């Protein structure tokens, strides 16, 4: 552990470096359980950073794009910032207004990404576990929630982000890892030349406030079809209503196969560098966000495995409630390689 500086209230922030036997390097911090940087080799063996981030802690303190963040309690959007549990309505911050329509986004005003977590590096040096106790009522959510996130860098060139949580009162939960990837290694270049494949036959269309309508729409015959690898820039400006509403790709795809079992969700590759990243998850969905709101427009893309947006308000969506006695689990594997 090295010092990553101090918070305005004086608490010290740590930076942890994970290195594997092939030289891949991940840096994580206990502020926000954030992935600060990830470096992997290109096809010639040259190591380069492939995630968007900041040089210092100050950058992450000010960040409003969730770079590298662990997002919670509920990642993605909740309609009107409201949900009902056991007949009681809860009101959350409406901190996002797509299409001029207020909604709750990514856990609220001070989400998990702005909290200082406890850190516990593993004895073998391959992983770090972050723990955060989110008190009852925090950001409007019920229950004292214990959230845990473990980052592991394996010798199989996998970066694993694993979340689990328990609570003493029923609460919605959708912990999400929000790294922006740019496999080219030049982080100022748009990601439009990357090839993406998604293991998804359907996606979730939204209304103009980017809340899912509840429909699962087939991707066939639309610019949302990534069943085979496609160049991201090829259809991002297509005349297709869901792309107009979101300003590009920013949607949740329904990952094929059974939620709760680990299965492939996405494959991203960059022809110039040869870098490849596969994403494997146990979650129902994957939000592919092309960085349309980034100050440096579309210089990184997110592949966020998660439950469906607005799940707390949509009974047909997978259950998003964690109850006392249950353990929430979310596994996300990033497997790096070259071709």
Q: Which residues are catalytic?
A: 178, 304
Enumerate the H helices of 103-240 as residue ranges.
232-235
The Cα–Cα gap between 23 and 47 comes to 8
Contact code string over 64-103 relative to ligand GLA, x by CB under 6 A: -xx-------------------------------------
Residues between 98 and 127 that touch ligand GLA (CB under 6 A)? 105
Single out the segment in contact with ligand GLA by CB under 6 A; choices: 53-61, 119-127, 195-203, 286-294.
286-294
Out of 102, 263, 293, 329, point to the residue binding ligand GLA (CB under 6 A).
293
Q: Does 308 bind ligand GLA (CB under 6 A)?
A: no
Single out the segment in contact with ligand GLA by CB under 6 A; choices: 11-19, 133-141, 287-295, 330-338.
287-295
Residue with tokens 């009107």: 80
- Across 297-317, b (16+ Cβ under 10 Å) vs e yields ebbbbbbbbbbbbbbbbbeeb
How do strand 301-306 and strand 285-289 relate by DSSP bridges?
Answer: antiparallel
Site size for ligand GLA (CB under 6 A): 9
Question: In this complex, which beta carbon is closest to ligand GLA, that of residue 204 or of residue 277?
Answer: 204
Question: In this complex, which beta carbon is closest to ligand GLA, that of residue 48 or of residue 245?
Answer: 245
Q: Does 250 bind ligand GLA (CB under 6 A)?
A: yes
CA-nearest of 63, 318, 305, 326 to 160 is 305
- Residue 335: CA count within 13 A, CB half-sphere: 11
Please give, one letter per residue, the 3-state secondary structure of 141-174.
Answer: CCCCEEEEEEEEECCCCEEEEEEEEEECCCEECE
Binding site for ligand GLA (CB under 6 A): 65-66, 105, 250, 287, 289, 293, 302, 304
């Amino acid at each position: 552990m090295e010092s990553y500086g101090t918070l305005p209230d004086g608490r010290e922030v740590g930076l942890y470096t994970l290195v594997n036997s092939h030289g891949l390097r991940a840096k994580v911090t206990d502020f926000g359980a954030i992935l600060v940087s990830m470096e992997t080799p290109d096809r010639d063996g040259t190591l380069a950073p492939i995630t968007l981030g900041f040089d210092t802690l100050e950058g992450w303190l000010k960040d409003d794009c969730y770079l590298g963040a662990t997002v919670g309690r509920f990642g993605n959007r909740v309609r009107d910032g409201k949900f009902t549990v056991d007949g009681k309505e809860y009101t959350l911050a409406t901190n996002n207004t797509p299409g001029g329509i207020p909604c709750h986004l990514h856990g609220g005003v001070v989400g998990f990404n702005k909290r200082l977590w406890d850190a516990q590096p593993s004895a073998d040096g391959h992983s770090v576990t972050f723990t955060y106790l989110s008190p009852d009522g925090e950001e409007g959510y019920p229950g004292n929630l214990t959230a845990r996130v473990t980052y592991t860098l394996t010798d199989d060139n996998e970066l694993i982000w694993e979340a689990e949580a328990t609570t003493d009162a029923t609460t919605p939960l959708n912990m999400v890892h929000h790294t922006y990837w740019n496999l080219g290694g030049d982080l100022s270049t748009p990601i439009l030349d990357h090839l993406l494949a998604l293991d998804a036959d359907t996606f979730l269309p939204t209304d103009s406030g980017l809340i899912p309508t509840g429909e699962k729409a087939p991707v066939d015959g639309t610019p949302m079809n990534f069943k085979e690898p496609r160049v991201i820039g090829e259809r991002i400006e297509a005349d297709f209503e869901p792309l107009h509403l979101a300003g590009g790709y920013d949607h949740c795809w329904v990952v094929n196969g059974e939620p709760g079992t680990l299965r492939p969700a996405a494959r991203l590759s960059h022809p110039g560098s040869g870098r490849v990243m596969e994403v494997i998850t146990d979650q129902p969905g994957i939000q592919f966000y092309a960085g349309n709101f980034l100050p440096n427009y579309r210089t990184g893309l997110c592949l966020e495995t998660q439950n469906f947006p607005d799940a707390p308000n949509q009974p047909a969506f997978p259950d998003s409630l964690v109850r006392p006695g249950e353990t929430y689990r979310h596994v996300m594997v990033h497997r790096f390689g070259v071709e």
